[in-house]
Structure 1
Amino acid sequence: MDPEVLNLVQTGGAAIVAAMVTDAWQTARIRTVRLFQRGGRDPQEIETQLDRSVARVTREGTEDAREGQVRRWRDDLEDLLSEYPDAADDLRALVREVKAQLPQVQQQWVQNITASAPGATSQGVMFGNIINHSGSPSEAATTGSGADSTAEDR
């Protein structure tokens, strides 16, 4: 199968599962049922499978459960697109619509670096920024400003 289509089915499976415990679920559910009806499948059967997936993800609440369901829906989407390649546009629309309704990912990174020996140097890199700190904790306490820092490669 074409790598672009494989990427689409992976993204589609991930979008369906990501929507399961959010306000985007009804949209994802309706669009998924509609998509699989193209293959002549019974809408009730599709809804039942989606409900089982939601129950498993909700009950187990683990990353393994979510990944298992992503694989499950990816496989079904791959089978569908193998038989009905023209369904790819509908799957892309489903992914776009669901992604637009998903909550924004909130991520926070914290990096603590300490140089504790006299004259010690510490270096930290996060997202391509190089931060250099020098000095000891006693110097930071004396100056009241902490260690010197510079940022390069921004």
Structure 2
Amino acid sequence: MTDPMSVLAMTGATTIVAAMATSTWESARGRVAELFRRRGEDEATAIAVQLDGDAHLVADEDDTEGVREELIRPWARRLAALLREHPEATEELRRVVEEVAAGLPRTEQHWTQNVTAHSGGTAFGTQGPGSSVHIHRHITPEEAASGDSAPGGGTSGDGSSV
């Protein structure tokens, strides 16, 4: 899916589904139904009913993100078919995506990670942009007494002490 219309359809689907069960939903729902009015009033009504049903699924499920993920592909297909039949709808769909995306609640990312190494093992863990790696190695009292603080002779690969 690399042609511009398919990419726009996927972006539109992702944005529409993200708006389900948010304060932006009513506006998004109306704009999407209006897009499909090009196929006739019955199609716009059917799309509005489908949108309502999908929004109820999102709102009622415990796994909200899982439901949203499952709904993206069918909406991408619907939007791609609409754009193939009505290429003049491209700019309107772009505007809908921009407006709906601007109204979506901003979510903060909370990251939690626990990394544990046992029995002299080493563990690394990073998450998200700008992450760095911090290496923590437990030194046993025996290693401290002997000066052997790194595996294989007390130095790291570049000759410096670890």
Q: What TM-score do the two structures reach when normalised by structure 2?
A: 0.70
- Residue aligned with 2:69, SS: helix
**Contact 2:35–2:92 (8 Å) recurs in 1:** yes
Structure 1: unaligned runs, 5 residues or longer: 139-154
Letter matched to residue 37 of structure 2: Q
Question: Comparing both structures, which one devotes a greater share of its residues to strand?
Answer: 1
Residues 21 and 117 of structure 1, relative CA distance in 2, 3 Å threshold:
same
CA distances 1:84-138 after superposition (whole Å, capped 9, x unpaired): 11211111111111111111122111233345657x6543333452222234499
Question: 1:101-140 counterparts in 2 under 5 A?
Answer: 101-114=103-116, 122-127=123-128, 128-136=131-139
Residues 59 and 89 of structure 1, relative CA distance in 2, 3 Å threshold:
same
Residue from 93, 96, 108 that aligns with 2:95: 93
1:26 aligned partner: 26
2:160 aligned partner: none
Residues 37 and 132 of structure 1, relative CA distance in 2, 3 Å threshold:
same
Query: How many residues end up aligned between the 2 structures?
Result: 137
Question: In the aligned structure 2, how far is the partner of 1:132 from the partner of 1:70?
Answer: 40
Letter matched to residue 31 of structure 1: R
Question: 1:69-88 counterparts in 2 under 5 A?
Answer: 69-88=71-90
Cα RMSD after superposing both structures: 2.6
Q: 1:55 offset after TM fit, Å?
A: 2.3
Structure 2: unaligned runs, 5 residues or longer: 142-162
Residues 5 and 122 of structure 1, relative CA distance in 2, 3 Å threshold:
same
Structure 1 outlier segments of 4+, above 6 Å:
none
Q: What TM-score do the two structures reach when normalised by structure 1?
A: 0.73
Letter matched to residue 127 of structure 2: M
CA distances 1:52-99 after superposition (whole Å, capped 9, x unpaired): 222233334434432332222111101100011121111111111111
